[in-house]
Amino acid sequence: MGNWVVNHWLSVLVLATWLGLNVFLFVHAFLLYEKADKYYYTREILGSALAWARASARCLNFNSMLILLPMCRNLLSFLRGTCSFCRCSLKKQLDHNLTFHKLVAYMICLHTAIHIIAHLFNFERYSSSRQATNGSLASVLSSLSQEEEGVSWLNPIKSPNMTVTYVTFTSIPGLTGVIITIALVLMVTSATEFIRRNYFEVFWYTHHVFIIYFIGLGIHGIGGIVRGQTEESIKENHPHRCAESFETWNDHNSHCKPPRFEGHPAESWKWILAPVVLYIFERILRFYRSQQQVVITKVVMHPSKVLELQMNKRGFSMEVGQYIFVNCPSISYLEWHPFTLTSGPEEDFFSIHIRAVGDWTENLLRTFEQQHSPVPRIQVDGPFGTASEDVFHYEVAMLVGAGIGVTPFASILKSIWYKFQHADHSLKTQTIYFYWICREIGAFAWFNDLLASLEQEMEDLGKVGFLNYRLFLTGWDSNIAGHAALNFDKATDILTGLKHKTFFGRPMWDNEFCTIATTHPKSVVGVFLCGPQALAKSLRKCCHQYSSLDPRKVQFFFNKENF
């Protein structure tokens, strides 16, 4: 627990602040509508459901204000650049943008549910009080109409024959509320892990109904169904003085006049205006950059359905581990997919490796395989920053890639190769431990040349211990294992041709972390992962377990790629 607090104190502080603001806004709004004289008569009809509806609405506005900010990728990249002098723990918060986006979305869902349930009670009480004939205060308030001189309505159900359904679909708040709810349900359900992994196109298109969500939210409060007593009316009819004598309101001799009401002004647009404008600017910038010409200089088809594209683009500048969004108009005009850059910043081109794992990527590979057709046009947006940019800030780095998740580390290792080639003495990193976990042998093929070059370079410079890599094959048959065992004493690995042998199975992470902690007892170790969530959970646990509470001893900091 102590190690966890040391590594995540700032994340805990950010979350605690966010939750605290939610609680404060909810309680503040709840007490306002539950206690204020302005809403005394409104509460006579609705009861506490009024306060529940308005308090949840306040939190909905607050979280809707935040939901777009983590998706402003240019803003995050800018902040990451300006925070280059900041402490690592501060910069790491930018890497949790998607996690925070999801947490805010869950909070929106929670308050949407509270808001809808509260309004169901409200409409039921509006309807029952309008139909009531018992002469109660609620029925008298519900019978107030616009036609009566100097009197304004409180109940949106204007006649006993008007149904709740009619009010819902003919009023701006009711209709936009239904639209907002449908949009939210579509976004949340299509963003589940299963849909995103297997039907990314469904997720991509459906998630863009957020445009409808924000338009609906901006105009939701127009119409003022929730009403309170006007300030002038309170002077003529103070609830604490006049509520009990409501039968005499229309008498000429009465000191209490019938109350007048006004609609609550729309306020959602005030909360979301700034982030929406910021996000629109973000999208305009991304659109402008995506329209710049991209020249494909080289296309390579690797084993295991992996496509390598080498490209040039005017003014393109990158750092290690960054990613870009790619669009191919001949496949889809609207779909943009993120891919990590596999080239080094020192190279005169930028490259990506794409594995066929879905409809879009399979169509892209199929298009490039058709050699007789012209090379399809590619649009590129980015690059955008990631956690891997910080790899050279650590004395010791553990790089863990699973399958095609090795791509950010290709960029890092290439950059290291160039730094050694040009005798760059500014490199802070002293040792790198690289782990690559693959299901099939063919996946190693496209990365072998780089690893072989690094092996030779480290040997020539007398830095054999600088790069320590482990290749793990998780899918094999008895023939492959037997063949490897028979040739184990060879100088190079029979499967990859490299000097380091391929391991069968998965890494024993406890052993790996224990060895590194023992070898580097006073170092700060950066652990970088591009892979599945289950692996992230194991590595994060090991980082907490093997970090010392003494800041002068070994510390492991976990970093995960998020797109």
Q: pLDDT digit string (tens) for 140-154?
A: 888 877 555 555 788
Contact by Cβ (8 Å): 40, 244? no
As a whole number, mean pLDDT of residues 371-377 equals 75
Residues in Cβ contact with 168 at an 8 Å cutoff, skipping those fewer than 6 apart: 123, 174, 175, 177, 178
Residues pairing with 400 in the sheet: 435, 529
Q: Which one of 352, 384, 416 terminates a domain?
A: 384
Closest by Cα among 408, 299, 406, 287 to 336: 287
CA 250 to chain centre: 58
- The two three-digit tokens of residue 500, written as one number: 């380091």
Tell me the pLDDT band of 63, cut-offs 50, 70 and 90.
Answer: very high
Give pLDDT, residue 245. 78
CA 45-220-171 angle, to 5 degrees, is: 60
Say if 249 falls within a structural domain: no
Residue for token pair 């149904």: 163
Q: Residue 376 pLDDT > 70, yes or no?
A: yes
For residues 141 and 229, state if they share a domain: yes
278 and 298 in a single domain? The answer is no
Q: Is 473 helix (H, G, I), strand (E, B) or coil?
A: strand
Cα–Cα dist 392/463, whole Å? 17
First to last CA, the chain: 29
If one counts the domains in the chain, the total is: 3
Picking from 353, 384, 415, the residue at the C-terminal end of a domain is 384
**In this predicted structure, what is the pLDDT of residue 415?**
82
Residue 487 has a pLDDT of 54
Distances (CA, A) of 468 to 106, 185, 227, 400: 42, 48, 69, 12
Pick from 42-56, 113-127, 261-275, 377-391: least confident? 377-391
Q: How far apart are CA 426 and CA 102, in angstroms?
A: 38
Ramachandran angles phi, psi of 273, nearest 5°: -60, -50
pLDDT of residue 396: 87
> Model's pTM, two decimal places?
0.77
Same-domain check for residues 440 and 556: yes
Question: Quick check: 557 and 525 in contact, CB under 8 A?
Answer: yes
* Tokens found for residue 375: 């090379």
Answer whether residue 64 shows pLDDT above 90.
yes
pLDDT of residue 281: 92
Could you tell me if 415 and 509 lie in one domain? yes
The CATH number given to whatever domain includes residue 350 is: 2.40.30.10
Among residues 269, 177, 193, the alpha carbon closest in space to that of 226 is found at 177
Does one domain contain both 327 and 422?
Answer: no
Specify whether the CB–CB gap between 559 and 388 falls below 8 A: yes
User: Domain boundary at 283, 317, 350, which?
Assistant: 283
Whether residue 203 is found in the same domain as residue 149: yes
Question: Is residue 203 a part of any domain in this protein?
Answer: yes
Rounded Cα distance between 153 and 149, Å, is 11
Output b/e per residue, 262-271; b: 16+ Cβ within 10 A.
Answer: ebbebebbeb
Residue 134 CB-density burial (10 A; 0-12 exposed, 13-18 middle, 19+ buried) = exposed
- What is the CATH number for 481? 3.40.50.80
Q: What percent of the chain shows pLDDT beyond 90? A: 19
Q: What is the pLDDT of residue 478?
A: 62
- 228 plus 355 within the same structural domain: no
> Out of 1-10, 50-59, 353-362, which region has the weakest mean confidence (pLDDT)?
1-10
Quote the pLDDT of residue 534.
Answer: 85
Which pLDDT does position 498 carry in this prediction?
65
Flag whether 470 is in a domain.
Answer: yes
Average confidence score pLDDT of the chain = 82
* Residue 6 belongs to a domain: no
Q: What's residue 55's pLDDT?
A: 95
What is the predicted pLDDT for the residue at 85? 47
Say which residue the tokens 């459906």 belong to.
Answer: 206
Considering the domain boundaries, does residue 5 fall inside one? no
The reported pLDDT for the residue numbered 2 is: 46
One domain for residues 412 and 526: yes
Out of 38-52, 115-129, 292-306, 460-474, pick the least confident. Answer: 460-474
Whether residue 182 lies inside any domain: the answer is: yes
Q: What is the pLDDT of residue 251?
A: 75
Claim to verify: residue 134 and residue 225 sit in the same structural domain? yes
Q: 483 is in which domain, residue-wise?
A: 394-560
Identify residue 226 by its one-letter amino acid code: V
User: Hey, what amino acid is at 243?
Assistant: A
289-322: per-residue pLDDT in tens?
888 888 988 888 877 778 888 899 888 888 887 8
403 Rama sector, left if φ>0, alpha if ψ -120 to 50, beta otherwise: left
Nearest to 74 by CA among 319, 388, 338, 381: 381
In a domain, 244, yes or no: no
Shared-domain flag, residues 349 and 479 = no
Least confident of 101-115, 296-310, 452-466: 452-466
Give CA–CA dist 186/180, Å, rounded: 10
Distance CA 291, CA 166 (A): 47
Minimal CA–CA distance to 384: which of 109, 68, 79, 142?
79
3-state secondary structure of 477: coil
Neighbours of 25 (CB within 10 A): 18
424 pLDDT more than 90: no
**At 263, which helix (H) or strand (E)?**
strand 261-263
- Report residue 97's pLDDT band, with 50, 70 and 90 as the boundaries: confident
**Within-domain flag for 255:** no
Q: Are residues 315 and 267 in the same domain?
A: no
Distance CA 166, CA 144 (A): 20
Instruction: Tell me how far apart the alpha carbons of residues 129 and 190 are, in angstroms, rounded to a whole number.
Output: 40
Q: Average pLDDT, stretch 540-545?
A: 87
Q: How far is CA 385 from CA 282, 315, 318, 447, in A?
A: 15, 17, 9, 23
Residue 62 sits in the same domain as residue 192: yes
